[in-house]
Amino acid sequence: MGHVPVWILAALASAWLGCASAAQPERHWEKPGADAAQLEREREACIATAMDEESEPSPRYGHQVLGGAFLRCMKGKGWVAVEN
C-alpha cells in the first residue's frame, strides 16, 4: 500500500472526530489571545500529530485517530476544552 496524502488523513480524522463528538457533550476550544485562524492551524497540527502517534491502518476503516494524543497536543499548545 502506498503513502496516503496528509490531506486525506486530515479529512478522515476530521470526519472521525466529528462523529465522535456526537457521543460527547458539546465543547469548544479557548485560548487567551488566540483567534479562529490560530485554532484551525493548531487543531490541524494536533490531528496530524495524533495520527502519527496513535493511528493504525485498518483494511476496512482506514486510519483512526484516538482522542488522547489529540487532546494532549491541544492542551500542550495552551488550549482548554470548554463545555457549551
> For the segment 1-51, what is each residue's pLDDT rounded down to a tens digit?
456 566 665 666 666 665 555 555 578 899 999 999 999 999 999 888 887
In a domain, 63, yes or no: yes
In a domain, 67, yes or no: yes
In a domain, 78, yes or no: yes
What pTM did the predictor assign?
0.57
In our burial notation (b when 16+ CB lie closer than 10 A, e otherwise), range 61-83 reads: eebebeeebbeebbeebebeeee
As for how many domains the chain has, the answer is 1
In a domain, 1, yes or no: no
In a domain, 31, yes or no: yes
- The domain containing residue 78 runs over which residues? 6-83
Q: Which residues contact 5 (CB under 8 A, 6 or more apart)?
A: none
